[in-house]
Each structure stands twice: as structure tokens, then as C-alpha cells.
Structure 1
Amino acid sequence: MKLKNLVFLLSLLLFGCSVGKKSEPIRTGTYFDLVELLDEQIAAFEEERPTLTKELSVNGETDQVIVQFDSAKQWKEELGLFYQADINKLGLETSYVTEELSTGTDIKKVIDSAKTDRPSVRSIEYNYRADRLESIRIIMKDENPVYKFEKELSLYFNVVQGKSVLSSFTISGDQSMILKDELNYSLKAKIGK
């Protein structure tokens, strides 16, 4: 199978669930509001129209593409997995324990960890320096008799005029299904002018 076919299949796998005209889930606001953060970043991108350089590796084959999105909808689809990692959905308000760690002068880490293996989002880690968000790391896992997947998603921010601005993100994971070959993939994306 050619790399372009792999890229297409992986795109469907990663981003096939569109963030379109579905009814919005009820959100509780119990934990850090990842959806609001992403919406703010996308609103800025819609005005600035930055480029996105993506390097995708699937089972050892790598391809690179540069795109520029015309709408917030395209950005939401690109960041779809991060939106799916929202833990402020109704029914999850008591599913996580939040702990705050100070790892040095002006360095802080806040971790939301799942209390059980039930939610697919196992943990979200927020890293701050001088009260400015530097990165978010999300661990997702799910397993049933048919499939098993593990994903690590990360968002990285630069401080621009006192605000944390999304500068890059990564997605990596492994997936296995009955009667299918194991899939190992990674995506590195850099947002630029």
C-alpha cells in the first residue's frame, strides 16, 4: 500500500468523526476547560491564517504536507482528537482526581487522573511556567475484545504578548484490531506564519 493511501486511511481513522452539526454535549465545567482553550486558539488562527506543517509517520513510512486552513471548521476537524479528550462532559464530573505539583520556582503541573479504567481519557497533564500554560499532555487508552488503542496527544504553547499561543502539537499511538495488522502512527504538526 502506498504512503498516500496510508495517510488517507490514517486521516479517516484519526479525524473521521467530524465535529460538525451534532448537538453539543452538556458540559459541567468541573475540570480545566480544554474546549474553550481550543476555541480561543482557533478564533485567533482564523484571523491570522497561519500555515500548518504536518509530518505523518505510519508504520515507519513518513510523509510531510503544508496546509493553510480557510475556516474554523477545518481547524476543529484537524484538532478533533483534542476536542474528543474533553473531560467536562456530563457523567464525568466525579471520574477524575486533580492534583497540583510544584516542580520548582514558577513551575507548576496540574494533573487530572481517571479514578478507574472506564474513561478512555486516562490523564491530562497541564504544565505551567510563571502561570503561563506551556504544554498539555493527554493519555488515552481503550480496550475491548475487538480492538485496543493507546494514544498520546500533546499541545505546545509559546507565550506571545503575555498569552499562551498554540505553536505545535503531536499525536502518537498504537492500535490493534482482530484480523488486522497493528498500526503505529505519529503526527508532528507545527503552526507558523
Structure 2
Amino acid sequence: MNRIKLFFTFALIGTISACTGEGTNTSVGESSYFDLQTLLDSQVEYLTSSEAKLKKELTAQGAKENLTIDPDSVQGWKRQLKLFYEANINKKGFEGEYFEEHLPVINGLSKSIFTAKTQKNPVKVLECTYENDTLKEIRVSVKESNTVYEVSKEMTLHFNSEQHLVGFDIKGGETMAVKKDLNYSIVGTIIY
């Protein structure tokens, strides 16, 4: 009798695991917002195949540091762009969570702006700027807070006329109840 119970227990666990495994492989593109993850994936592939390097200028609390990094793999580039990957709003759970606005062309520039409807979403604004229908810049504003800390980041991706990533910048700050405030900036320049 115990063998039968054990068999059914494992069969039930296997069935549940199989069902939940399908759900974790959800397509990112199921929302109607700008698909930042797919864009970043294609840029990372290009950067890797081009054997591009990354020059970074880091500033924190007035101290500066310059680095040249060789993220020689897809994973290396994804680590360097991690904060932008985290800012992707084109996820199934965010459907209906953002206002979408498209500004018409003025002097060759147009914009698509996605603004959070509530304060619970950390990505407050994602703004895409186009020049003659060519993506030039993506700006992301992130803010998270609770009773212990507040984190804010202004991040921008820059593209050339071929729509290849040429650089990024991140300006941020952290305020915590128990330690000194931290302000930092990172300027990344792609070297092809």
C-alpha cells in the first residue's frame, strides 16, 4: 500500500512540475509595450560578433574611475547592461499598467512614452526617441522606495544612425535610513 501512495505522490509531483515548467517559459513579447529585452538581445549579439569593447567612467561620491572592459561573450554584455534588462516593461504582468503616448514628428524627432499608472511599478517612464523613424535614444526613469530606503536611476541608451548601441549613461542615488546617501554615475562608451 505504501508503494502505491509513494508512486502516486511522485506522479502528482511530476505532473505539477510539468505544468508549472510550461508557465515559466512565458514569451516576453506578450505585452504591447516597447520590447526592450528583444532590442537588447539583438544589440548584445551584434556587440559580441563585432568584438566590441566597453569604456566606462564611474563616479561615486566625487571619486572617478575609468575602465576599459572586454565583455567577450553574450553573458558578459548582458551583465554590463543588466540594469537596462531589469527595466523592461514589456512583460505579461505589466499589461495595462502603463499609459502609452506617441508624440508626432517635430523637426525630424518623434517620441513614444510609456508612463506608469501607479507608484508600485519601479519603472516610472520609458521614453523612446526617434529621428526620421530611426531609434536614437531610450530613456528610463526608475524609482523604488519604502520606509528604509529610496533608490532612483535615470538611464539612457544611445544609438547611431544604423541603430547600433554606441553608449549609455546611468545616474542614480540611494538614500537609506541607516547610512550615508550615495550618488553615482556611469558613462559607458562602446568601442568598435
TM-score band, normalised by the shorter chain?
A: 0.7 to 0.9
Quote how far apart the aligned CAs of 1:132 are. Answer: 0.2
Q: Whose radius of gyration is greater, 1 or 2?
A: 2
RMSD (Å) for aligned C-alpha atoms: 1.3
CA contact (8 A) 2:58 2:186 kept: yes
Cα gap change, 1:71 to 1:57, in 2 (>3 Å) = same
Identity %: 37
Indicate the SS of the match to 2:92: coil
Alignment correspondent of 2:91: 89
Alignment correspondent of 1:72: 74
Give the total of aligned pairs.
168
Q: Which has the higher helix share?
A: 2
Indicate the SS of the match to 2:76: helix
- Distance in 1 (alpha carbons) for counterparts of 2:60 and 2:26: 32
Cα gap change, 1:25 to 1:181, in 2 (>3 Å) = farther
* TM-superposition CA deviations, 1:22-74 (whole Å, max 9, x none): x6665323201100000000001111111110000001110000011110001
- Distance in 2 (alpha carbons) for counterparts of 1:24 and 1:42: 21
Alignment correspondent of 1:16: none
CA contact (8 A) 2:54 2:70 kept: yes
1:192 aligns with 2:191: yes
- Normalising by structure 1, we get a TM-score of 0.83
CA contact (8 A) 1:98 1:110 kept: yes
- Distance in 2 (alpha carbons) for counterparts of 1:156 and 1:67: 18
CA contact (8 A) 1:158 1:165 kept: yes
CA contact (8 A) 1:106 1:129 kept: yes
Alignment correspondent of 1:155: 157
CA contact (8 A) 2:57 2:186 kept: yes
Task: Map residues 138-153 of structure 1 onto 2, 5 A cutoff.
Answer: 138-153=140-155
Q: Which runs of 5+ in 2 are unaligned?
A: 1-23
- Distance in 2 (alpha carbons) for counterparts of 1:80 and 1:39: 11
